Structure 1
Amino acid sequence: MAAPIFKQAEFYITVKSAEKILKPVYPEVAFLGRSNVGKSSLINAVLGKKNLALTSSSPGKTRGINYFLVDKKYFFVDLPGYGFAKISKSERLKWQKLIESYLLQSKLLKILCLLIDSRRDIMESDAQMVDWLQYQEKPFFIVLTKTDKLSKNQLRQVIKKYQDFFPDNHILPFSIKDKKLIADTALFIKKALN
């Protein structure tokens, strides 16, 4: 069995206002996506920890920026989900400001992992996020989550659709049930951090 890509991880801090975003200390990878896309599940799988990032069947669980210290030399940064309708407009704007503040302030952000549900059509909020990230010249790649719900043929079609739609971006399929896809994603992140 291959050695784990990341060996140690612990919860570090939750930040709920732009003023408290951490000053850059370690290289960072941030995780971003619509609510309920599987950010916490991906973080847990990549780090080999079951309950490090809290998962929930109800969207909107991540209400601040959660920092995880990994191998005592990286930060994994779990950002609030976007596109979640069942919260007030003011709360939605607060989350949006928090995400934007982090992305604009993060001087040691090495890569951003944009998660998109592989079972859904390309959503306007995801396309807008890609446009914004490209405009801000932020390095990112796209992870298509929940691919275990698709047949191999469906998955090929979905990957091609996203490659056609986002031709400048690296696209990785992902499922928490597939050890190879977990390892591929972890390795991609590790290379970006170094």
Structure 2
Amino acid sequence: MITIKSAQFVKGVIGSDPIMKEKTPQVAFVGRSNVGKSSVINALVGVKDLAISSSTPGRTLQLNFFLINEEVFFVDLPGYGYSKTSLKQAEKMRKMIMWYLESGEAKPKKVVLIIDSNVGPTKFDMEMMELLTENEHEVVVVANKIDKVKQSEIVKKKRSIIEKLDSENIVYFSTKTKQGKEELLEEIMS
């Protein structure tokens, strides 16, 4: 069982920065706006407001680096696919995400792709999975908000997620009940 002993915000960056080249491994968290990236990070580390979460989509506007157990950075990326942001802002966020994942300056050891269990993979999620696969990132899919899926729908939703993302490496997660916490920590910290 992996225990988080320390978690601290280090810095937010919007471009090239020395932190990207540090030898400390990085685990990137990516997903649609308001899918719960910051909430998943907070649930994993057991600190309520380490990563700022909001009910308003599009709050994360930079790459936020958190040092976990003095041994790994969790990197909270801006969300994608939020239609109410200005086109200019949405394009800026998209470019930042792509730069982080494709430039080679940062080399995340794993990328956690967070989707909404109830909604299932969106067009944007499937495009992101394709990009991650093309760039040979090791991907862990987190189907967040599993507690909001009706019991009668769970098997159908799980099958749909597996088929649409062509992945078996899926952690079903709830920030409320902490379902999937241990499994996800094992996946990303080992």
Structure 2-normalised TM-score?
A: 0.92
Count of aligned residue pairs for this structure pair: 188
Whole-Å separation in 2 of the counterparts to 1:123 and 1:71: 33
What is the aligned partner in structure 1 of residue 183 from structure 2? Answer: 184
What is the aligned partner in structure 1 of residue 37 from structure 2? Answer: 39
2:72 to 74, 79, 86: 74
Q: CA deviation at 1:84?
A: 1.1
Listed as ranges, the gaps of 5+ residues in structure 1 are: none
2:81 to 64, 68, 83: 83
1:58 to 33, 56, 59: 56
User: Using a 3 Å threshold, how does the CA distance of structure 1 residues 90 and 180 change in structure 2: closer, same or farther?
Assistant: closer
User: Using a 3 Å threshold, how does the CA distance of structure 1 residues 169 and 99 change in structure 2: closer, same or farther?
Assistant: farther
SS at structure 2 position matched to 1:19? coil
**Do 1:26 and 1:108's aligned partners in 2 also have CA atoms closer than 8 Å?**
no
**Do 1:5 and 1:183's aligned partners in 2 also have CA atoms closer than 8 Å?**
no
Q: CA deviation at 1:93?
A: 1.5
SS at structure 2 position matched to 1:54? coil
Instruction: Please list the CA deviations of residues 128-168 of structure 1 after superposition, one character each: whole Å capped at 9, or x if unmatched.
Output: 11111111111111111111111333222211111122234
User: Using a 3 Å threshold, how does the CA distance of structure 1 residues 180 and 121 change in structure 2: closer, same or farther?
Assistant: closer
Structure 1-normalised TM-score?
A: 0.90
1:59-138 matched pairs, under 5 angstroms: 59-104=57-102, 105-138=104-137
Residue type of the alignment partner of 1:153: S
SS at structure 1 position matched to 2:70? coil
C-alpha root-mean-square deviation of aligned residues, in Å? Answer: 1.6
1:19 to 16, 25, 47: 16
Whole-Å separation in 1 of the counterparts to 2:47 and 2:105: 25
User: Using a 3 Å threshold, how does the CA distance of structure 1 residues 24 and 106 change in structure 2: closer, same or farther?
Assistant: farther
**Do 2:121 and 2:165's aligned partners in 1 also have CA atoms closer than 8 Å?**
no
SS at structure 2 position matched to 1:22? helix
Q: CA deviation at 1:107?
A: 4.7
Listed as ranges, the gaps of 5+ residues in structure 2 are: none
2:26 to 28, 34, 37: 28
What is the aligned partner in structure 2 of residue 150 from structure 1? Answer: 149
